[in-house]
Structure 1
Amino acid sequence: MLAPEVPMSHSVAGEPPSAGRRAAPLTTAIYSAAEWDLLTSLPGRVIVAVAAPAPGRPDRGVAAGLAGLEAVAAGRAFDSDLVRAVVAAIYARDDGNPPPVERLTDLVDLLAACRAAVRVLHRRADPADSAAYRQWVQSVAARVCRAVPAPGERSAGQPTSPADRRFLDRLGGALGLV
């Protein structure tokens, strides 16, 4: 039995769908509502976790959030129907209720969510879409790690801190990339 299609209000390109055209690519029809929520919320959870102050990591402030949003938007150019559909769903979402911050910044919970997403992708996604999604989520984290820090911290473009590298390694492991 197929899971119900998760409706999307805009086409993948962000424009209203034209008459007779599907609002969502066929790739989204195979995910349950809970699975789709996991896949569409994970990039935001990664942004919050990476931007949160932690021992050994610089305070990135607003720059981290902006870098994360740019990295999410960059998914529009990915050669993956799944990544483009997730980005479209993220930008189409306007419920006014952001997820609770305490849920978003818990590293253990985030890594568990990454592993759950990998299991969903393994069961349901095309291998190329699965790889593209997991690499995209990792690239969101890496871009936030390179965000311009608060005044007095290291300058942008320099290698990430050891704590950032550990975080990215753990995230990559949870995403099945290492």
Structure 2
Amino acid sequence: MATVDAAAEYVPYAPVDYPVYRETDPAQAVEGVSPDQFFESAYTPILQDMISHVVNEEGPVLDSVLARRIARAHGWVCTGARIRDRVDQVARAHFSSHDEEQLGTFFWPTHLPPEASPSFRRPGDDDSMRSLTEVCLQELAALVSEMQAKGHVADALIQAVAREAGVSKLAHAGRLRIEKAVRHCGE
């Protein structure tokens, strides 16, 4: 009768610990959300606290996403140019930013230097899915590097990055975004 050394074959399950991205509610950071006062200078400290909450929890975060999050917290369905400009003005006064051609500006949380390469944050739940255009190039490049380290190359690399990012159907624009991140890794 053959025996097997169970201890030698046992490989313990080690959960993978990935950074997670979750949407946050800026209204949780303040008391007194007031759509009527949004454009008043006296409201700037409340707006600043809301913006800080989103940028520090979700950042690097795209300017349009930040403006949308702030608008929704005020009960607005649409995010018009005046709202975007007001949010942008307050955010630029308090956070480092990085402009990406054709996308917009990403605001960086205070705990992460703008020259840092952030880890890719996978969606924490179904409500926290981001499109590839909502992920800064540095963060997407980190996912590319991770997939390259797992042996993915060429088209398999593109597909692996898309899958890990939660993209179920990769459109042409998404493919181009991933290819740009691959080039960024090579620089």
| TM-score computed with the length of structure 2 as normaliser | 0.24
Higher strand share: 2
Higher helix share: 1
The structure that has the greater radius of gyration is 2
| TM-score computed with the length of structure 1 as normaliser | 0.25
